[in-house]
Chains A and B, each alone.
Chain A
Amino acid sequence: RKEVEQDPGPFNVPEGATVAFNCTYSNSASQSFFWYRQDCRKEPKLLMSVYSSGNEDGRFTAQLNRASQYISLLIRDSKLSDSATYLCFGAGGTSYGKLTFGQGTILTVHP
């Protein structure tokens, strides 16, 4: 089983839609989680960190469910500019080498 698993999509949604992605992780010792955004042929960039209490940044909301071992990203009022690949990332455990990205979820927002 992969340490971090994502539904690769693609998700195709119209502008203004609400879309949610989930990411499951297998290592219960994982301590910190992030969502990164990657545009086509570009480097990943941090979208937001995912805290136990959840966090919100404008149209984006991230949640962590440690009991069920998943993190989620909710995007409200989708914009064309939200089209990208969203990567979840988990870190921690017993070694600093345990840094694991999911394979990414492709989102396309269309007019």
Chain B
Amino acid sequence: NAGVTQTPKFRILKIGQSMTLQCTQDMNHNYMYWYRQDPGMGLKLIYYSVGAGITDKGEVPNGYNVSRSTTEDFPLRLELAAPSQTSVYFCASSRAGTRDYNEQFFGPGTRLTVL
């Protein structure tokens, strides 16, 4: 199993550009998450999904969109990149809800810089 994979690993965007961060998991997990981590900070939840076709906002959803058409894939879309979106983005998945002590498995992250 590859676990959770993310592409690209690095990206530099200009202000106003758009891009999609890809996330795929091969563990047949129902729950998937997108976090961002700013330097010296913890992870903040952007969006999450409890299954294909179901998504919901986390703590910091503004400026992002997601979709979940399959169990495996959970892409994150930035429509109009802003410098404030410079961060490391982690995708994660879990078999079921973390409220029930289900471990989250993280991808290696995408380092995004907006100039």
Contacts and interface: CB of A to CB of B under 8 A. Distances in A.
B48 A44 contact: no
A25 to B, nearest CB: 13
Chain A interface, DSSP helix/strand/loop, else mixed: strand
Given A89-B98, A99-B33, A103-B40, 13 more contacts: A32-B98, A42-B108, A42-B109, A44-B90, A45-B106, A46-B103, A97-B48, A97-B57, A99-B98, A101-B35, A101-B42, A101-B43, A104-B41
Interface of B: 31, 33, 35, 40-45, 48, 50, 56-59, 90, 97-101, 103-104, 106-109
Interface in A33-88: 34, 42-46, 49, 51, 87
Interface of A: 4, 6, 8, 31-32, 34, 42-46, 49, 51, 87, 89, 91-93, 96-97, 99-104
A102 B42 contact: yes
Pick the most buried of A42, A93, A101: most chain B CB atoms within 10 A of its CB.
A101
A44 B101 CA distance: 16
Contacts of B107: 43
Contact of A96 (B35, B59, B97): B97
Interchain residue pairs A-B with the least CB separation, the first 7: A43-B106, A101-B42, A91-B98, A103-B42, A92-B99, A101-B43, A32-B101
Nearest to A91: B98
B43 A96 contact: no
Contacts of B98: 32, 34, 89, 91-92, 96, 99
A96 B50 contact: yes
Contacts of A43: 90, 106-109
B27 to A, nearest CB: 14
Contacts of B57: 97
A100 B40 CA distance: 16
A44 B106 contact: yes
Contacts of A96: 31, 48, 50, 56, 97-99
A46 B104 contact: yes
B99 A32 contact: yes
Contacts of B56: 96-97
